[in-house]
Structure 1
Amino acid sequence: MLNDRSQLLFKNLMGLYLNDGKPVGSTTLAKLPDIGLSSATVRNVMADLEKMGLIHAPHTSAGRVPTEVGYRFFIDSMLTYQPLSRQKEASIRHELAVGLNQDALMESASKILSGITGMTSLVLMPKKEQEILRHIDFISLSANRVLVVLVFNDQDVQNRIIELEQPISSDELQKTANFLNEQCLGKNLAEAKQFLMNRMDSIRSTTNSFMSSIVQATDHVLEEQLVQKMPFLVSGKTNLLNYQELANSEKLKALFNAFNQHSEMLNLLDKSMQAQGVQVFVGQECGSEIYSGCSIITKPYEVDGEVMGVLGVVGPSRMDYQKVVPKVDMTAKILGSLLKK
């Protein structure tokens, strides 16, 4: 717990440091119009703040900068957030094209979030097994070639061309499509796949070989769709070059490798899915010493109250949280609403 004087000095120190990134000295703080204390008194208060682990001197005879503990205290106890204006919300919504399929919408959200925050964005993709199968169709391209069309979540269309050993008529294609639509529509991807796997033997014994081949091909398409090609998207990695505290070649190399290796970041994003609202992770709270000097802000996105994934940004701990947090929050809300549509 800090008394009023200590809180005032710490808050002003944080404001100065977040603004220009330079260590803050007692003389600089004492000159601020709302402080009203001597330099000696300010030095004593700063010494107390340093003993508490909230600030430290980066080198001898320097001013003070916040520690990770200091950032945590500042974020939890001193910040208030204003929601984005309707104009800015409308701008984000306009940039996210409603007509895109699910994967393209995720990619668009990642790029937009990176652009409006000036940081690296992360979007944890929805798990493929949660996708709902909405329609199945087969289109004859030639005697032996068939286009398999599967529609998921009302907007994600997947097409595959398959080659059959023997020709099949349009009537037989339609019968097979009707059968699969009756049995599989409304099931999620995992359920539809399980149904076909359980029924494959009976399908082979009760239908002709043509229909059996089509059903088996559909099962292969579902199998391909279930494969998660990328667990999360990353956009704007080069934005980190714009921040002096991160623009070190070894630091950036370590961060980029961490993005590519997935495991640590996935642990953090999975943790964020279990939490309510916006989460801010500072430094080693992110799961590794690699993120020293960084903060990660995340927010789950939902469809009908069900958490589908998480989006967020990675940037320097010295960021304008009051501006960045509402942008992450609003982008997650808009993405969830567009996925619902």
Structure 2
Amino acid sequence: MLDDRKLEVLRAIVTDYVSSQEPVGSKALVDRHDLGVSPATVRNDMAVLEEEGYITQPHTSAGRIPTDKGYRLFVDRLGSVKPLSTAERRAIQTFLSGALDLDDVLSRTVRLLAQVTQQVAIVQYPTLSHATVRHVEVVSLSTQRLMLVMISSTGRVEQRLVEVAEVDEEELALLRTLLNEAVVGQTTGEAVRTLSGVLADAELADGVVSPTAQAVASSATARLSVATLLEMLGSDRSSRVVVGGVQNLTRLTDEFETTVKPVLEALEEQVVLLKLLGEVTDPDIVTVRIGQENPYERLQTTSVVSTAYGSQADSWATLGIVGPTRMDYPSTMASVRAVARYVGRFLTQS
């Protein structure tokens, strides 16, 4: 176990190296940090840190830089994630406000996360297993064409065109009422079972007892609309991710082979990106995977900071960033957590 002074020296080395991107020497540490000890004592502490594997010397005449083990101890000793300032929180809220649908929300989120962290941002589409149907709208585009719009509690908006025989406003209003009464408030799984049962009952020649099934049985437009809504409910996009901030890699041109090239290759593989985010299920926990801790071998020179987003009762998906191990962990962790909370709150209230 390291004593408090050596931990303070390690913290100073991590902070200076992230800021300067240059190996850190003992004299610089004494000059820049109030360590309360002489350069000789700091050199002795650095020797212990190096022997324990927390820092390393890249060149014989250079200072020291943190190792993955050193970054891990630094992150573990942060204690808690610092809150963002009022101005930072307001900027996040303003950036997300005005989003039109789920696609727009996630597009804004990934741009925002990349901008505030200066890393590559990744946002997973929300899962639908626990989402509920908030509203179904039926819009007449012409006498023979309808648009079905389904809005879920995750903010997801799905829409489909339906070609039908001529339909009047009265039938349209009945159809709208029928669909909403059948599925609003149900999870997507429950809604699929309900509508499947309605269609099954509607196909019976005799003995139809459900008023909904009777209405569907008597209307080809209703049958087609129910079948279309079933397709919409069954299209889960949670295996998709949105990526932003790839341009942030340009500042790492000196690390192209070790960091940039593997990241660029990984960005082309959705499954890899989902693995990178990890199986995070708690919006209150920010997970940090450093270097060799990453499951994807070609990205073991990077760090991934991720967390879940969703409602207070349920997490829907994950978001995070990937970047070099030399990153500002306190600020990055705070930004990832704050953005996740605002996205979850925004989608819940929208």
Runs of 4+ in 1 over 6 A off after TM superposition: none
Structure 1 partner of 2:193: 194
Task: Find the partner of 1:324 among 332, 336, 342.
Answer: 332
Structure 1 window deviating more from structure 2 (197-206 vs 26-35): it is 26-35
How much identity, in percent, do the aligned residues show?
28
Structure 1 partner of 2:176: 177
Unaligned runs of 5+ in 2: 205-213
Structure 1 partner of 2:208: none
Return closer, same or farther for 1:268/1:314 CA change in 2, 3 Å cut-off. closer
Q: CA deviation at 1:283?
A: 1.0
Q: Distance in 2 between matches of 1:172 and 1:8?
A: 73
Task: Find the partner of 2:262 among 248, 251, 254.
Answer: 254
The answer to whether structure 1 residue 307 and structure 2 residue 315 are counterparts is yes
The answer to whether structure 1 residue 338 and structure 2 residue 346 are counterparts is yes
Could you tell me whether the CA contact under 8 Å between 2:216 and 2:222 is conserved in 1? no
Q: Distance in 1 between matches of 2:81 and 2:325?
A: 17
Q: Distance in 2 between matches of 1:107 and 1:17?
A: 32
Structure 1 partner of 2:274: 266
Structure 1 partner of 2:117: 117
- 2:219 is paired with a residue whose SS is helix
TM-score by length of 1: 0.86
Could you tell me whether the CA contact under 8 Å between 1:297 and 1:313 is conserved in 2? yes
Return closer, same or farther for 1:204/1:179 CA change in 2, 3 Å cut-off. farther
Specify the code of the residue in structure 2 equivalent to 1:181.
N
Specify the code of the residue in structure 1 equivalent to 2:16.
L
Q: Distance in 2 between matches of 1:80 and 1:162?
A: 52
Q: Distance in 2 between matches of 1:15 and 1:169?
A: 68
Q: CA deviation at 1:261?
A: 1.3
- 2:186 is paired with a residue whose SS is coil
Which whole-Å deviations, capped at 9, do the CAs of 1:101-140 have from their partners, x for residues lacking one?
2231122111111111211111122113433223334344
Q: CA deviation at 1:96?
A: 0.8
Q: Distance in 1 between matches of 2:31 and 2:258?
A: 38
- 1:100 is paired with a residue whose SS is coil
Could you tell me whether the CA contact under 8 Å between 1:79 and 1:322 is conserved in 2? no
Q: Distance in 1 between matches of 2:314 and 2:333?
A: 22
Return closer, same or farther for 1:286/1:168 CA change in 2, 3 Å cut-off. same
- 1:160 is paired with a residue whose SS is strand
Could you tell me whether the CA contact under 8 Å between 2:253 and 2:260 is conserved in 1? no
Structure 2 partner of 1:277: 285
Could you tell me whether the CA contact under 8 Å between 1:125 and 1:231 is conserved in 2? yes
The alignment yields a C-alpha RMSD, in angstroms, of: 2.8
Q: CA deviation at 1:208?
A: 6.7
Return closer, same or farther for 1:78/1:129 CA change in 2, 3 Å cut-off. closer
Return closer, same or farther for 1:69/1:174 CA change in 2, 3 Å cut-off. same
Q: Distance in 1 between matches of 2:185 and 2:39?
A: 71
Return closer, same or farther for 1:195/1:245 CA change in 2, 3 Å cut-off. farther
Return closer, same or farther for 1:38/1:167 CA change in 2, 3 Å cut-off. closer
Structure 1 partner of 2:211: none
Return closer, same or farther for 1:133/1:173 CA change in 2, 3 Å cut-off. same
Structure 2 partner of 1:36: 37
Return closer, same or farther for 1:96/1:141 CA change in 2, 3 Å cut-off. closer
Q: Distance in 1 between matches of 2:153 and 2:271?
A: 28
Q: CA deviation at 1:89?
A: 0.9
Q: Distance in 2 between matches of 1:233 and 1:46?
A: 42
- 1:214 is paired with a residue whose SS is helix
Q: Distance in 1 between matches of 2:162 and 2:202?
A: 19
Task: Within 5 Å, give how 1:22-101 maps onto structure 2.
Answer: 22-29=22-29, 34=35, 36-39=37-40, 41-77=41-77, 81-101=81-101
Q: CA deviation at 1:324?
A: 2.0
Q: Distance in 2 between matches of 1:213 and 1:296?
A: 49
- 1:273 is paired with a residue whose SS is coil
Could you tell me whether the CA contact under 8 Å between 1:234 and 1:259 is conserved in 2? yes
TM-score by length of 2: 0.84
Specify the code of the residue in structure 1 equivalent to 2:235.
V
What number of residue pairs does the alignment pair up?
Answer: 338
Q: Distance in 2 between matches of 1:78 and 1:101?
A: 36
Structure 1 partner of 2:153: 153
Q: Distance in 1 between matches of 2:292 and 2:254?
A: 16
Specify the code of the residue in structure 2 equivalent to 1:264.
V
Q: CA deviation at 1:270?
A: 4.2
Structure 2 partner of 1:243: 252
Structure 2 partner of 1:233: 242
